[in-house]
């Protein structure tokens, strides 16, 4: 990756987006950072400048096309073009489908899927005009499997994966334009606390948990050597195998595992989180409050059950292929 590469990041104020901004800054890229929160943007921009990067910031909402276009214009005006555009902007809601208000459900799908489409529309227009570019989307394991209590997020991530596949097909005539998907499992970011919640208890990332820097490193590698899909997470492939190979067994196990590993015992009143408005600046950090604690009994039991289910799934799949 050239050290002067121009990188745009939408969703740069928190979690994986913030970690990605810092990773590109350390790699010598010139950055345009965008999100809904100006205070959080200023904070991450200051950290990137401390790492030696040239940085511009633009307040933008991926559901407002004019603001996304302003992000592109800022990059072109300041740096002459865009080499890489990373979109990690996303919101989330917990709760049974019938308990999540329709407006909240719809907004999650709009931000995570239609917002991604808006970014793609603007980025690909610029890439077509300049003849090259790498568009990287932050996806999720939940774009390939399903968990209860996250129906809006799952719906949007499955849709985003389909959109990305379509975009790859439609850019086959442009070999220097790449559309990539980086899909992590659970990541220690603030999204779980900032999510809307109608489950009655707080959400949390199920084990095994990666740090946002791990995902950011995968995104930087993808910018250096574009790949269609990059999975980040120890258990992603085996969980996906269980989902496809033995769906009945998966469906029996995923509910109890989600209640143990993905929901806490902490009571949580119903709230809309950051679905409609950005979180407060002190909630827009790099990390959440969770650590990769395999030794904790509840987490270890949940992880062991997932791996056991995946092992059974693999054996069933092997028998079916005979």
- For the annotated catalytic residues, the residue numbers are 153
Q: Say if CB 60 and CB 115 are below 8 A apart.
A: no
In Å, how far are 183, 238, 274 from 214, measured between CA atoms?
12, 19, 24
225: part of which helix (H) or strand (E)? none
Q: Which residues contact 288 (CB under 8 A, 6 or more apart)?
A: 15, 188, 189, 190, 191, 192, 193, 205
The two tokens of residue 101 are 């208000």
The C-alpha atoms of residue 154 and residue 141 are separated, in whole angstroms, by 9
* CA pair distance 218, 157, nearest whole angstrom: 19
Distance CA 198, CA 167 (A): 34
Rounded to 10 degrees, the C-alpha dihedral 170/225/141/72 comes to: -60
- The residues near 132 (Cβ < 8 Å, ≥ 6 apart) are 83, 176, 177
The candidate with the shortest Cα–Cα distance to 262, out of 191, 181, 214, 158, is 191
- CB count within 10 Å of CB 78 equals 14
Q: Could you give the maximum distance between any two Cα atoms of the chain, in Å?
A: 60
Within a 13 Å sphere around the CA of 11, how many CA atoms are in the beta-carbon half?
Answer: 28
């Amino acid at each position: 990756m050239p050290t002067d590469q121009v990188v745009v990041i939408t969703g740069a104020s928190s979690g994986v987006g913030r970690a990605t901004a810092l990773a590109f800054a350390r790699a010598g890229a010139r950055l345009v950072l965008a999100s809904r929160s100006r205070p959080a943007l200023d904070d991450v921009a200051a950290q990137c400048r401390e790492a030696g990067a040239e940085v511009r910031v633009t307040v933008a909402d991926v559901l407002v096309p004019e603001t996304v276009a302003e992000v592109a214009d800022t990059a072109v005006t300041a740096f002459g073009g865009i080499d890489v555009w990373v979109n990690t902007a996303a919101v989330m809601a917990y709760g049974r489908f019938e308990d999540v208000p329709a407006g909240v459900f719809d907004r999650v799908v709009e931000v995570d899927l239609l917002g991604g489409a808006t970014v793609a529309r603007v980025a690909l227009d610029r890439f077509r005009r300049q003849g090259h570019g790498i568009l990287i989307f932050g996806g999720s394991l939940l774009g390939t499997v399903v968990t209860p209590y996250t129906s809006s997020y799952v719906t949007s991530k499955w849709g985003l994966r389909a959109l990305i596949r379509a975009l790859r097909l439609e850019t086959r005539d442009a070999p220097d334009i790449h559309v990539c998907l980086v899909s992590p499992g659970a990541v220690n970011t603030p999204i779980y606390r900032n999510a809307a919640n109608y489950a009655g208890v707080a959400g949390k990332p199920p084990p095994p948990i990666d740090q946002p820097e791990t995902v950011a490193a995968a995104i930087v590698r993808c910018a250096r050597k574009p790949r269609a899909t990059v999975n980040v997470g120890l258990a992603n492939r085996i969980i996906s195998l269980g989902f496809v190979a033995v769906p009945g067994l998966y469906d029996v196990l995923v509910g109890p595992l989600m209640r143990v590993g993905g929901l806490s015992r902490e009571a949580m009143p119903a709230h809309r989180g950051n679905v409609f408005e950005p979180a407060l600046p002190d909630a827009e950090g790099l990390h959440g409050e969770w650590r990769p604690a395999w030794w904790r009994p509840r987490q270890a039991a949940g992880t062991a059950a997932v791996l056991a289910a995946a092992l059974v799934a693999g054996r069933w799949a092997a028998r079916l292929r005979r």
